[in-house]
Amino acid sequence: MRLLLRRAAFYLFTAWAAITINFFLPRMLKGDPVSAYLQKNQGLVSPEAADALRTLFGLDTGKSLAEQYADYWVLLLSGDLGRSFSHGLAPVADVIASALPWTVGLVGIATVLSFLLGTTLGTLVGWFRGGRGDVIVPVATFFSAVPYFWMGLIAIAVFATGLGWFPASHAYGKGTTPEFSAQFIGEVIAHGTLPALTVVLASLGGWVLGMRNMMITVLDEDYVTVAQAKGLSRRRVVFAYAARNAVLPQLSSFALALGFIVGGTLVMELVFSYPGVGKLLLDATNAKDYPLMQGLFLVITLTVLVANLLADVAYAALDPRTRQGEV
């Protein structure tokens, strides 16, 4: 419990750091497109929106830095992230909210699937070391070095355009309106398979190798010898004794890798024109839509933090030693 509290405190601190970095980011970057925009579109922007933008971008030079910082916090806590230039001045929060579920759904499912599959494969390869399974090592090594987006390109070329099994882009068919119908869900699954498959395949290698190495290390531990001396079934020794212990460091590195995974999937969204936050960010960058960029960075960072916290909770649930505070 103590450990979780410490982790929670750390995440709060990191969240604060991320928000503060976000505060300084536009003030450090060159140019001032926001003022230019405001001047050009004076009639179109409501006073509140203009004020919000000024606070977010440090344009209210009348106030001291500390006051600006305080205003910034007030703005954030009320859920106002400014207005998006490239989306007809729609609130940034709304624009992000429509894209976030797609990313979380896709990345969440694909990453968890990849971790589970990779860990299981790694367990088996680690247990049967020296056997035919070892051929997986060079294969997994190669695959773990492949950039997500390139794998996505190949996947589209082979499976979508070549074999025609899956649609090549977007989350659902053109002209379809999102709703809770079986047909829509079917389309979502059809469109989501290829991107998900890409993420799974590209990240699988890393998990297999990591788990294999951990299994090999754990199999030398005394408690595994004891389990074998007790005459326990091989299945029990592999899973309840070896794998249950080997998976713990893997879970830690999963939590740490989340930031990196999110990055890779963002670009992959570009390849598939998938309407998630990744594509949104890239489009925003190209359109120099600073409010949206800033809002996205914040949201992405906070999402990664939440995911990290969940991974830590899972770790604490699996490792009884953490419950006494000392790890």
Partner 1 sequence: MFTNRKSITGLVILGLFALLAALADVVAPFGPLEKDYTALKQPPSATHWLGTTHLGEDIFSQIAHGTRGVLLVGLTAGVLATLVAVIVGVSAGFLTGWRGESLSALSNVFLVLPAIPLMIIVASQYDDPSLFLISAVLAITGWAWGARVLRAQTMSLRSRDFVQAARANGEPLWRIIAVEMLPNLTAVIASSFVGTVTAAVLGLTTLAFVGVIPITNLNWGTILYWAQQNGAFPEFWWWYVPAGLAIALLGAALSLISFGIDEYVNPRLRSAGERARLQKKRTKRSTA
Partner 2 sequence: MNRDPVLSVSGLSVTYDVDPPVEAVRDVSLTVGQGEVLGLAGESGCGKSTLAYAVQRLLRPPAEITGGQVVLHAVDGAAGGDVDLTTLSPAEMDRLRWDQVAMVFQGAMNSLNPVLTIGAQLADVFTRHRPAMGRAERTATCGALLEMVGVGADRLRSYPHELSGGMRQRVMIAMALALRPRLLIMDEPTTALDVLVQREILQEISRLREELGFSVVFITHDLPLLLEISDRIAVMRAGRVVEVGTASEIYHAARHEYTKRLLGSFPSLTGDRGDFVRKGAAV
Q: Of 324, 137, 127, whose CA–CA distance to 240 is shortest? A: 127
- Least separation in angstroms between CB 251 and partner 1: 16
Q: Rule CB under 8 A: choose which of 46, 183, 228, 285 binds partner 2.
A: 228
Positive or negative, the Cα torsion across 102, 191, 262, 58?
negative
* Contact with partner 2 (CB under 8 A) among 226, 256, 313, 314: 226
227 touches partner 2 (CB under 8 A): yes
What's the rounded Cα separation, in Å, for the pair 212 and 247?
A: 10
Cα 196 from Cα 152, distance rounded (Å): 10
**Of 302, 291, 259, 282, residue with least CA distance to 19:** 302
Among 270, 316, 319, 323, binds partner 1 (CB under 8 A): 270
221 binds, among partner 2, partner 1, none (CB under 5 to 8 A by kind): partner 2
DSSP letter at 26 equals H
With beta carbons less than 8 A apart as the criterion, state whether 4 and 319 touch. Answer: no
Between 90 and 216, name the residue whose CB sits nearer to partner 2.
Answer: 216
Residue 128 interacts with partner 2 (CB under 8 A): yes or no: no
Nearer of residues 176 and 252 to partner 1, judged by Cβ = 252
Give yes or no for a contact between 82 and 175, defined as CB atoms under 8 angstroms apart: no
- Please choose, from the candidates 185, 182, 171, the residue with its C-alpha nearest in 3D space to the C-alpha of residue 98: 171
Q: Is 324 in the site for partner 2 (CB under 8 A)?
A: yes
Taking the CB of residue 101, how many other CB atoms lie within 10 A of it?
14
Using rule CB under 8 A, residue 320 touches partner 2? yes
**Binding partner 1 by CB under 8 A: which of 238, 266, 292, 311?**
266
CA dist 188 and 176 (Å) reads 11
Q: In 10 A of CB 287, how many CB atoms?
A: 14
How many residues line the site for partner 1 (CB under 8 A)? 57
- Decide: is 321 part of the binding site for partner 2 (CB under 8 A): yes
Radius of gyration of the chain (CA): 24
Residues in 247-306 at the binding interface with partner 2, rule: CB under 8 A: 248
Neighbours of 116 (CB within 10 A): 11
Q: Which residue lies nearer to partner 1 by CB, 156 or 227?
A: 156
Contact window for partner 2 (CB under 8 A) among 141-149, 178-186, 189-197, 232-240: 232-240
What is the footprint of partner 2 within residues 193-222 (CB under 8 A)?
A: 221-222
Counting contacts by CB under 8 A, is residue 67 touching partner 1?
no
224: how many CB neighbours lie within 10 A of its CB?
Answer: 17
CB of 62 to partner 1, least distance (A): 26
- 42 by Cβ neighbours in 10 Å (0-12 / 13-18 / 19+) ranks as exposed
Check binding of 327 to partner 1 (CB under 8 A). no
Task: List the structure tokens of 248.
Answer: 């713990």
Q: Among the candidate windows 7-15, 108-116, 197-205, 233-241, which touches partner 2 by CB under 8 A?
A: 233-241
How far is it, in rounded angstroms, from Cα 294 to Cα 278?
13
In the complex, the residues that contact partner 1 under the rule CB under 8 A are: 10, 13-14, 17-18, 21, 25, 29-31, 128-131, 134, 138, 141-147, 149-151, 153-154, 156-157, 161-162, 213, 216-217, 220, 256, 259-260, 262-264, 266-267, 270, 281-282, 285-286, 293, 296-297, 300-301, 304-305, 308
In the complex, the residues that contact partner 2 under the rule CB under 8 A are: 221-223, 225-233, 236, 240-241, 244-245, 248, 318-321, 324
